[in-house]
């Protein structure tokens, strides 16, 4: 059993208000909410610091909570919700991204199950293989590497692991990216871990790479990684992404 929190900001730097953009007659956020409900979570909560988002969400969601402004990350916002609702330390909470309207419910179930299967772990997350050079080199695609026990070693916007001998003529001459993995921004936490993360200041690596999970990694948290059991849908970060996802919804309907 698990809870889902959907942090929903209006002030996205690359596409402001994206969570309210329409897709097949519904705001993007509603598709994410319905995905979380289909995953049979115990509770699904939308957390926002913007009244425009809250007003739209109240039309379809059972729980909409106005959270504090100024959180450094979605994780901090999820931690606030867990505290306000009094969830116990052992409760598993999934952080679902509000810009993934085609996220399969199976992945919410999977990431929660991965954490449940590893009682010593603090966080679980998912990945997919990288299958082309453009994706491998793209700084908007977060890469990760793990140890033999599937614990995260590092997350980066840089292309990792880097095959030194595969790029004799510089970055774009790289011929070896097989085995590289893309991080998918879906997390499951135990509430105790959420509280610890929220009590820490932003870390040096987190600030440098602009990746919130590095705060936990630098602090020694055990982050377990599994490959997605089904293909995840595309997320929406830019107007070009929105156009592509809109076309997918149009084709599906």
CATH for 136: 3.90.550.10
Domain, as residue range, for 13: 3-252
- CA 96 → CA 52, 70, 88, 132, 247, distances in Å? 20, 19, 19, 26, 23
In 3D space, the residue among 213, 238, 200 whose CA is nearest the CA of residue 126 turns out to be 213
How does residue 12 score in pLDDT terms, banded at 50, 70 and 90?
confident
Distance of CA 193 to the CA centre of its chain: 16
How confident is the model at residue 84, as a pLDDT?
Answer: 96
* Buried residues in 35-58 as b, exposed as e (16+ CB within 10 A): bbbebebebbbbbbbbeebbebbe
Which residues lie closer than 8 Å to 69 by C-beta, 6 or more apart? 49
Distance CA 32, CA 165 (A): 42
| SS3 call for 219 | coil
How confident is the model at residue 70, as a pLDDT?
Answer: 83
Mean pLDDT of the chain: 95
How does residue 13 score in pLDDT terms, banded at 50, 70 and 90?
confident
Count of domains forming the chain: 1
How confident is the model at residue 72, as a pLDDT?
Answer: 81
What is the pairing mode between strands 92-95 and 3-7? parallel
The pTM is what? 0.94
Asked if 114 and 224 touch (Cβ cutoff 8 Å), the reply is yes
How confident is the model at residue 50, as a pLDDT?
Answer: 95
Distance CA 211, CA 164 (A): 25
| SS3 call for 149 | coil
Distance CA 52, CA 56 (A): 6
Distance of CA 235 to the CA centre of its chain: 10
pLDDT tens column, 25-78: 999 999 999 999 999 999 999 999 999 999 999 999 999 999 998 888 889 999
Distance of CA 39 to the CA centre of its chain: 16
pLDDT tens column, 198-228: 999 999 999 999 999 999 999 999 999 999 9
Query: For tokens 């026990």, what's the residue?
Result: 149
Quick one: CA dihedral 198, 185, 86, 191, positive or negative? negative
In 3D space, the residue among 2, 1, 8 whose CA is nearest the CA of residue 61 turns out to be 8
Whether omega for the bond prior to residue 161 falls within 30 degrees of 0, making it cis, is yes
Query: For tokens 């998918």, what's the residue?
Result: 184
């Amino acid at each position: 059993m698990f809870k889902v929190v959907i942090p929903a900001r209006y002030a996205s730097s690359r596409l402001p208000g994206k969570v309210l953009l329409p897709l097949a007659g519904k705001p993007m956020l509603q598709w994410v909410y319905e995905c979380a409900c289909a995953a049979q979570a115990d509770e699904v909560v939308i957390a926002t610091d913007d009244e425009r988002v809250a007003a739209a969400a109240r039309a379809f969601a059972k729980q909409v909570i106005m959270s504090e402004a100024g959180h450094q990350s979605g994780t901090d916002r999820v931690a606030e919700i867990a505290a306000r609702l009094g969830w116990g330390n052992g409760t598993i909470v999934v952080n679902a991204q509000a810009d993934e309207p085609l996220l399969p419910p199976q992945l919410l179930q999977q990431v929660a199950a991965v954490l449940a299967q590893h009682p010593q772990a603090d966080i679980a997350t998912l990945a997919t293989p990288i299958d082309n050079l453009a994706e491998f080199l793209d700084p908007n695609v977060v890469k990760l590497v793990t140890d033999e026990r599937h614990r995260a070693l590092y997350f980066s916007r840089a292309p990792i692991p880097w095959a030194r001998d595969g790029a004799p003529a510089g970055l774009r001459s790289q011929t070896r990216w097989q085995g590289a993995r893309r991080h998918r921004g879906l997390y499951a936490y135990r509430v105790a871990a959420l509280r610890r993360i929220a009590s820490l200041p932003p870390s040096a690596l987190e600030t440098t790479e602009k990746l919130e999970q590095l705060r936990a990694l630098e602090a020694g948290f055990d982050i377990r990684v599994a490959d997605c059991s089904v293909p995840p849908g595309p997320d929406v970060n830019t107007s070009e992404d929105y156009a592509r996802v809109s076309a997918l919804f149009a084709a599906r309907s």
